[in-house]
Structure 1
Amino acid sequence: MSMPQTLFQLSGRGYAPATLSNATLLIIDAQEEYRSGAMVLPGLQPAVEEIASLLAAARQLGRPVVHVRHLGIPGGLFDPQGPRGDFLPGLAPQAGETVVEKRLPNAFAGTDLHDRLLAIGHLDLIVCGFMTHSSVSTTVRAAKDYGYRCTLVDAACATRDVPMGASCLSAADLHKVEVAALADNFATVVADAKALV
């Protein structure tokens, strides 16, 4: 039996990974909720280190960075008035970097993200952040509808264990499945930050 091909391969519409020199870095929901809140991610720290590498390289090159911040419920998940809604240490925006605040998983829904990206002027996005199966996935899928080309950095994303009937689907397995689904038809996937810096 031959190895299956992605929809990108079958359609001939795949594309090479972006580089930081020709793309916008899009960091999704790098927030404290995932470190010390109710949704601690098992793979958080290695992903944070990968994001920090991408962020440092983008800043050194003077490339555009867009930070997406989820606005939750006061006193609850992603509390916008408390520490759980804050950016993670070392990943906070600097002066001049764009911040887009969202209330739904898809960072384009109900926000000005598309307008902000159009103003920056790049169709290529390098995407990383949290959670792989939720905000990262929905945003990457929506980006295709808007005509963007996404490069997803596998090691710079993470997710959590989720219930599945009477059992549990591990964060590692869920992440792997979601990255494979996105690589099929929505994003070019690279292993880690070293592939782009």
Structure 2
Amino acid sequence: MTSSANDLHEASTLAPRTALLAMDFQHGIADRFTGTGVLERAREAVEAARAAGIPVVWVRVAFRPGYPEIAPTSGFAGIAERAGDNGMTEDSPATALHEALAPRPDEPVVVKRRISAFTGSDLEVLLRGLQAESLVLAGISTSGVVLSTLRQAADLDFRLTVLADACADPDEEVHRVLTQKVFSRQATVTTVGEWTAGISRA
């Protein structure tokens, strides 16, 4: 077992029931939210999770060269066309995680192929290996990866928390409705400050 694997399993032993999912904080998406504060709040959540021994799992969306995973009927077809031949590949700068939220070497990065963090990825296998039963969600956009992942995670029987101010959406009203009226049906919705205060007291 490598040292990074040892570190990962040690983290899961410290906090076997909770994992923080930091989703789609990659340049092609996150750069549109510079100055909104969402990257800073997400970084606060990541740092607090690390300090508490809670595993941080990173999620990004990317594809193989030529985009063989994207059918013409996929919602990603138009996005990929606009991005060009290499704009959304796994090695593209646009799909690289934002340097403001760089993962540590021992933190896994999951590559997904659709909007939900679970679709086309090994996320569920990884979370079961970490013994995670509760997930804390942060990501952009609120109406994209956060909504889709929350719905699927709820169906998989995970307990859920959404960090509302570590999520953002191009439409602020959509973000408000989701975080204030929709997500609370399946998750605890809170702020980074409230969540970090709670885990620091635990």
TM-score by length of 1: 0.75
Runs of 5+ consecutive residues of structure 2 not aligned to the other structure: 1-13, 64-79, 197-202
Match of 2:149 among 97, 122, 139: 139
Structure 1 residue 146: deviation in Å? 0.4
Q: Which residue identity does 1:143 align to in structure 2?
A: A
Contact 1:137–1:182 under 8 Å retained in 2: no
- Is the 2:21–2:138 contact (alpha carbons within 8 Å) kept by the matching residues of 1? yes
| Pairs within 5 Å for 1:32-181 | 32-36=27-31, 40-41=32-33, 45-72=36-63, 73=80, 75=85, 78-160=88-170, 171-181=171-181
Higher strand share goes to which structure?
1
Q: Which has the higher helix share?
A: 2
1:128 & 1:33 partners in 2: Cα distance?
A: 17
TM-aligned CA deviation for residue 78 of structure 1 = 4.0
Q: How many pairs are equivalent?
A: 163
Cα distance in 2 for partners of 1:193, 1:61 equals: 14
Q: Closer, same or farther in 2 for the Cα pair 1:174/1:143, shift >3 Å?
A: same
TM-score, length basis structure 2: 0.73
Aligned-partner residue type, residue 101 of structure 2: L
2:19 maps to which residue?
24
Identity %: 29
Q: What amino acid is aligned across from residue 47 of structure 1 in structure 2? A: V
Deviating 4+ runs (over 3 angstroms):
72-79
- Structure 1 distance, partners of 2:61, 2:112, is 5
- In the alignment, what sits opposite 1:188? 188
